[in-house]
Amino acid sequence: MELRHLRYFMVVAEELHFGKAALRLNMTQPPLSQQIKQLESEIGVTLLKRSKRAVRLTAAGGVFLKQIKEGLSQIDQAVDMAQRTARGELGRLVIGFVGSATYEIMPPIIREYRNRFPSVQIDLRELSTPNQIDALLNGHIDIGVLHPPLGNDELKSYTVKKSHCVLALPKHHPLTEKARVHLKDLEEESLIVIAKEAWPSLYTEFNFLCEKAGFIPNIAQEATEYQMVIGLVSAGMGIAVVPTAAKRLFNLDVVYKEIEDFPLRAEWITAHRKDNRNPALKHFIEISDQHS
């Protein structure tokens, strides 16, 4: 028994006329009549009562029609869902992200992705960069928004945003009154920094620039995300160098100032396994690229 036989029967049952059914099916009447007889022979039941004047459904034919309509509808739905899934329009996408990506990076990307692909279930997980790398390699997330470097050949990455960095100060700190601030002015200050394991490139580059300026930074406290860094600055625990996105953490007790000739850049990337075959991933990468 083939699906086309069921569809042939359904059309004949709807029309109750072989000639009209044949026209709908774009075929001639004799082959259609033969296919219906073959179907009846296969299932061992008379489905249609034929006479010279009319075609009627038998009781068995009525029951069979009801059931195959439901079955064919489910099959059509299954085909549609399979095709939409293959196109990345249906399914599930698990996205990891660092907390610092929640202000300027994630909102526009997620908003556009949901608008374009509303039937894809999005699972968001806030994870540190090391934990995202592990989750990517273990297949627990499809894509991550994190900080470089990755240090793994199984992962493919794209830069999604670069931002210069500014100095965050308690509002009554003496440096807030200075017209121009240079990196050397931080030499005697207690510094709050994002921990190396959380943002290795930023940590390493900042230390390098300080040493290049002639001093070793006095790191008083480390934090895993700059939300915590700003909180500690607000509490008077020290000063910090943070990405400009930190300004979105509106805090009346913190003042932000530019550092003269300061090349430090914060970078966010997206990363995924090279062998990830989730069709929904492709569209997310395309949208991320558009917003980079």
Cα dist from 192 to 41, 80, 222, 234, 266, whole Å: 83, 54, 6, 11, 16
Confidence of residue 151 (pLDDT cuts 50, 70, 90): confident
Beta bridge partners of 146: 269
What pLDDT was estimated at residue 249? 79
Among 31-35, 39-43, 72-76, 97-101, the range scoring the smallest mean pLDDT is 72-76
Q: What whole-number distance in Å separates Cα of residue 185 and Cα of residue 212?
A: 13
Structural domains of the chain, ranges and CATH numbers in brackets: 1-85 (1.10.10.10), 89-157+266-289 (3.40.190.10), 163-263 (3.40.190.10)
85 backbone dihedrals φ, ψ, rounded to 5° = -65, -45
Q: Are 224 and 217 in contact (CB under 8 A)?
A: no
Give the tens place of pLDDT for each residue, 174-201: 999 999 999 999 999 999 999 998 888 8
Among 62-66, 202-206, 257-261, the range scoring the smallest mean pLDDT is 62-66
Query: Hey, what are 270's tokens?
Result: 């997206």
What pLDDT was estimated at residue 111? 94
DSSP-assigned letters across all residues of 12-78: HHHHT-HHHHHHHTTS-HHHHHHHHHHHHHHHTS--EEE-SS-EEE-HHHHHHHHHHHHHHHHHHHH
Q: What whole-number distance in Å separates Cα of residue 105 and Cα of residue 101?
A: 5
Q: Which helix (H) or strand (E) holds 240?
A: strand 240-243
Q: What whole-number distance in Å separates Cα of residue 192 and Cα of residue 239?
A: 6
pTM: 0.69
